[in-house]
Amino acid sequence: MTVLVSLEACEAIAPPCIAKIITGDALPKGGGIWSIGNEIRPSDFYCYLYAKFGPPNGLQNFLREDDSANLIHWDWTFAHTNGLMMILGLNMRTEVHLIGRDWDFPNCDKQQFIDYVKRDLGKYGKQMSHIRSTVLEDWDMFVNPYRQLRDAITQLKKDLDELALNPETEQLSNFQPGSDQAKFQAEWTALTTKYNRGIGLAMAIRAMTPVLAESFINLIFFILCRPDIKKNERLYNSAVRANIDIKVQSLHINCIGFKSPIDWSSSECARYNTVVNERNDMLHGNVVVDKLKFSEIYFLGKVPIFKSYQSFWQHSIGVSINASGFDKVSGDIEAVNEFITYVMSCLDDKLKEQVEMFTDRRDIGVNKKTKRLGLLLPEHIVDFGVSLVSKG
């Protein structure tokens, strides 16, 4: 026989009573747990329970740390004629714990309970709206593009390093008559595959690395932009769309927290600018002969007169390696990191620590009402299962 579960016979228990039940011998035996995802939106569930029963009363509300890095975020615990009901808000789901044999848990209907809550929500719409607007803060969470790009470059560089490319020692000599042609072909194919991947990784890193600095500057501007500029759409958009050199040199004017202007003629800025220019030549396919040249040759009519002989390797893989800038990858990353360090050094020391916290985080929150920025959730969200249900 199906057991119908509702909240009508539930009564919120005072926390001291809950503690006595759990730590004493009064905890009912048996029962079970339902896991509810977005069948009932967690924010709706929270506001509904708050409107119906008042603030959360369960012990987990008192055991949690005063931050968002908890396993259980909220807890309502109710007394019922069948035992106890606990409704817990976790990171990945809402759990409903029915504790006590009188629940006859195998015959309890989870979908019926979900349908009941959805119907009952309508009775508390006004109260729920009030709770959302006055009790809760509404935030948007967005991905930190700088951190995301930095992680991607780090992974690509790791993949490139794991290939352990060494053109000086790995290049194959030309095929010699009488040698094992099948073996040579197999070695050549394996090496070509390896180096083609390395060349692709090198070009991807060199294309992305200058953008890392740009995303950093954009994030700094977003975090520290003066309120009067942020409120003026034309001024804000003008600053956002400025060329990178203008944007960098204007940071101390458009943003708060800079103890000194950024000197674009500094060695850090000059080196970064060189990386940008080389990236642009590569990315846009600019034909700059001095940078793309790999050999020189004479011709007498249609007769080639080589200035020097090059191996098959030098004519093929070697050309691609040089054109990709494989040997410049580490230097490009170093130049961008030095540029970022230099920009950070121009910030007030106290503000610098706060900015570093934001730049290092994967996701950032912005309050929809006040536009205040915040670090809302821990880097690593943990999920686990816990139960007070005893089978004894």
Write the DSSP string, 183-241. HHHHHHHHHHHHHHHHHHHHHHHHHHHHHHHHHHHHHHHHHHB-HHHHH-HHHHHHHHT
Tell me the C-alpha to C-alpha distance, in Å, between residue 6 and each of 55, 56, 96, 107, 237.
19, 18, 12, 14, 53
Looking at residue 232, its pLDDT comes to 93
Nearest-CA neighbor of 120 among 41, 9, 6?
6
Looking at residue 118, its pLDDT comes to 96
Angle between helices 349-359 and 329-345 (to 10 degrees): 140
Percentage, residues of the chain above pLDDT 90: 57
Looking at residue 160, its pLDDT comes to 95
Alpha-carbon distance of 384 to 71, in angstroms, equals 8
Whether this prediction's pTM lies above 0.85 is answered by no
Alpha-carbon distance of 389 to 98, in angstroms, equals 8
pLDDT band of 127, cuts 50, 70, 90: very high
Q: Assess whether pLDDT exceeds 90 at residue 172.
A: no
Looking at residue 48, its pLDDT comes to 96
CB 82 within 8 A of CB 103: yes
- Ranges 5-9, 123-127, 296-300: which has the least confidence: 296-300
Q: What is the pLDDT of residues 336-370, one digit of tens each?
A: 999 999 999 999 988 998 999 999 998 999 999 88
Report residue 271 as tokens.
């080196």
pLDDT band of 315, cuts 50, 70, 90: low
Report the helix count and the strand count for the chain, using DSSP H and E. 18, 10
Tell me the C-alpha to C-alpha distance, in Å, between residue 125 and each of 129, 132, 391.
6, 11, 39
CB 249 within 8 A of CB 261: yes
Q: What is the dihedral of CA 128, 132, 136, 140, to 10 degrees?
A: 140
8-state DSSP, 146: H
8-state DSSP, 26: -
Alpha-carbon distance of 338 to 354, in angstroms, equals 20
